[in-house]
Structure 1
């Protein structure tokens, strides 16, 4: 996307052109999470519950990898723009050092922390056994997903975003194909059960990471790998840029962990429902996140160019598209919650809980659209901390206490309403700063 188009292309067309490839990439990820969960649910509900309990740790692995990739991407883009080849090599080497360090940390988790982590959430020995099988593999072989995400960020740093669709797509297809084969033992393969889902996942990630290495070697000559030495200053700069992204994703891991504990006091079927919801809602929120990822560079460019009207137009169109995406999700969750929960082979108890839960949580979708776009606007204008505070308010300060207090009523259906309460509080916060930070920032820049 060249500078002229950023400044002149109709804002709706510009946003879609920037966002659609990102939406497609994210939907690929959502698809194979759904397929993975579907096949696990065919084993039994305990297996699906175990994978749900493992999800916060998987999310943390991805959050750390994405945040490190964001910091690496920013430093690489800066050094490439300055034609500082020595700094580019230094960033590359230290980024790969961090990939190894993070992977080793999760190997240690796999060895010593998997069992205590699961025991803190469930007393069911079958769920714990399934969870240990699954989580031990995905954490022990976290190197593959760490390397895959870093390779994709390196391609993005030089504008080769379409190549990341290749790595993600092939990794997802391999995972989807191998899931039933390894879980149920088709074509002469051993029947591995829940462990088979984990093996399929890491094989898909492994192939994607190797493909990413090849594509970087073949096309990304600007960031060629050169052996150097660890540089604490470079590592510090990577984390300075990447930590907000790590924090944002990690917040959701914390939220899921504690909500699982709250829901587990009612019934493990409620935990399974929450896991099912989290996978299906990706089809609503990942396109929304793709939209905001496209909005940020477009809005930042026109803000820097002091094009006030275009900034307002971009925000207006982004809010409209965001509302359309979430309204479609709202209708789907209200009209067909039974069909959605049926994707996960639910028990009668899980199906009944799921219908109520999906309808309650879906009421928060339109408010979430406003908040997610607003947080992207803050980032575009150089205040990512506001977005972090908004996420902290929604997920930790309001959602978890509301869920805990509502759980004291003894009514499980009340707990789901905590999502609506959290989004209402966050909307008040985001609306205030849209009025008092964003508009003042735009007007000050245009003087």
Structure 2
């Protein structure tokens, strides 16, 4: 069966597994970049070095935001165009995405290197932490182009109906990072710089793999030289859809800054390290959900474009069930074994273990409903309704969470920082449920009346 045609005809359950499992593996592997860095840095350098990496997290989040702006925006657009049988237009989008990723990456590198110190201080980096943060982020900034090309274009491999190749992109990078981290940290004695060097080498390998795919013979969609110039119409279309995940990532960056400043005030540098660990664990649990989203997106986008709404609804339902199941398992592990989880990152710092194990149980208390919220937000993005998607994404990470982060710590101190997370998760899930109910009702009405 033609790889694009299968999106509209193959059984949904099988199709979602085929697309999601490689994406889930890829996203878990992507999460391991941060986790492996923090484990080796925590064991090899110390808790303050983990704080240093945590302080740089808003910068790496902004870098990822631009990769999502172009990568996810162009992927949704390509999936819809393939559903409309417009392959030439899809290839123009792929080529424009590559050029955009390169240009944006170079701008980010130059800007970041020029202003890194004042940025880090504004994020809450004190004298004990800023040297670690500076050493780490300087090297990461030099590799922005590898990160964004590898991540951004890898999304398009899934739209090209080749999820296994997309999975290998992530595997190559993560395996290389896991091997190189201990070599640079323990053998070459490069400390936190070694973790950063290992990361950008690994990302360069992933980027090379992705480019070989699109310029080689294996891809259905090709990058042609004639398409390698920017078209305003395509750029605006990519940005209009990609703005939702982009805004969500920027919001995550702002939230991390506010979090770090509150943690520095009410808990000190060690609580920042604890939050860095909690973010790593949260990412490991939620990355499979993003993998399910990436697997479901081309299926939903194609069938929505082809007006096969029963297949759209079934894909959404199965994605929500799978995401919720993963979140429940993650919740049980976090609540039962918090001390063991924190100890993986540093076995000797009793203060870190105490603060972190208490924080992780509270901050991730609403995990069971987060999968539903994330998948439902992604649905609106997949069907080309970026405003809905953006609002729902921001409701969890900005509209509700930031006010809570500003109010609750003043009342409950450090505990208030931990309580803000689950409170925002609960309220945003309620809002998302209302939006999805209205959307499905409208979709049923369209089906009944036979109108698009």
Same fold by TM (over 0.5)? yes
Residue in 1 that maps onto 2:148: 146
Q: Which moved more, 1:160-169 or 1:192-201?
A: 160-169
Residue in 2 that maps onto 1:224: 223
How far apart are 1:18 and its partner, in Å? 2.7
Work out whether residues 94 and 230 of structure 1, in 8 Å CA contact, stay in contact via their aligned partners in 2.
yes
Work out whether residues 79 and 298 of structure 2, in 8 Å CA contact, stay in contact via their aligned partners in 1.
no
How far apart are 1:46 and its partner, in Å? 1.0
How far apart are 1:248 and its partner, in Å? 2.1
Question: What is the distance in 2 between the residues matched to 1:55 and 1:124?
Answer: 15
Work out whether residues 145 and 202 of structure 1, in 8 Å CA contact, stay in contact via their aligned partners in 2.
yes
Is 1:180 the counterpart of 2:179? The answer is no
Residue in 2 that maps onto 1:205: 203
Unmatched tracts of structure 1, length 5 or more: none
Which secondary structure does the structure 2 equivalent of 1:223 belong to? coil
Question: What is the distance in 2 between the residues matched to 1:389 and 1:113?
Answer: 31
How far apart are 1:283 and its partner, in Å? 2.5
Residue in 2 that maps onto 1:214: 212
What RMSD, in angstroms, separates the aligned Cα atoms of the two structures?
2.6
Provide the TM-score with structure 1 as the length reference: 0.89
Provide the TM-score with structure 2 as the length reference: 0.89
- When residues 311 and 414 of structure 1 are mapped into structure 2, their CA distance, relative to the original with a 3 A threshold, is same
Which secondary structure does the structure 2 equivalent of 1:264 belong to? helix
Aligned pair partner of 2:193 in 175, 192, 195: 195
How far apart are 1:2 and its partner, in Å? 5.9
Q: Which moved more, 1:145-154 or 1:364-373?
A: 145-154
Q: How does 1:6-405 map to 2 (within 5 A)?
A: 6-7=8-9, 9=11, 11-42=12-43, 43-74=45-76, 81-84=85-88, 91=93, 93-122=95-124, 124-184=126-186, 186=187, 189=188, 191-219=189-217, 220=219, 222-226=221-225, 229-266=229-266, 267-300=268-301, 312-345=313-346, 347-405=349-407
Which secondary structure does the structure 1 equivalent of 2:225 belong to? coil
- When residues 374 and 238 of structure 1 are mapped into structure 2, their CA distance, relative to the original with a 3 A threshold, is closer
How far apart are 1:334 and its partner, in Å? 0.5
Work out whether residues 113 and 141 of structure 2, in 8 Å CA contact, stay in contact via their aligned partners in 1.
no
- When residues 75 and 383 of structure 1 are mapped into structure 2, their CA distance, relative to the original with a 3 A threshold, is closer
How far apart are 1:354 and its partner, in Å? 1.2
How far apart are 1:272 and its partner, in Å? 1.0
Work out whether residues 144 and 206 of structure 1, in 8 Å CA contact, stay in contact via their aligned partners in 2.
yes
- When residues 341 and 241 of structure 1 are mapped into structure 2, their CA distance, relative to the original with a 3 A threshold, is same
Unmatched tracts of structure 2, length 5 or more: none
Question: What is the distance in 2 between the residues matched to 1:321 and 1:51?
Answer: 32
- When residues 152 and 294 of structure 1 are mapped into structure 2, their CA distance, relative to the original with a 3 A threshold, is closer
Question: What is the distance in 1 between the residues matched to 2:124 and 2:225?
Answer: 47
- When residues 359 and 2 of structure 1 are mapped into structure 2, their CA distance, relative to the original with a 3 A threshold, is same
- When residues 398 and 77 of structure 1 are mapped into structure 2, their CA distance, relative to the original with a 3 A threshold, is closer
Q: Deviations over 1:6-65 (max 9, x none)?
A: 5562x4444323311111111111223211110111201111101011111112111201
- When residues 412 and 165 of structure 1 are mapped into structure 2, their CA distance, relative to the original with a 3 A threshold, is same
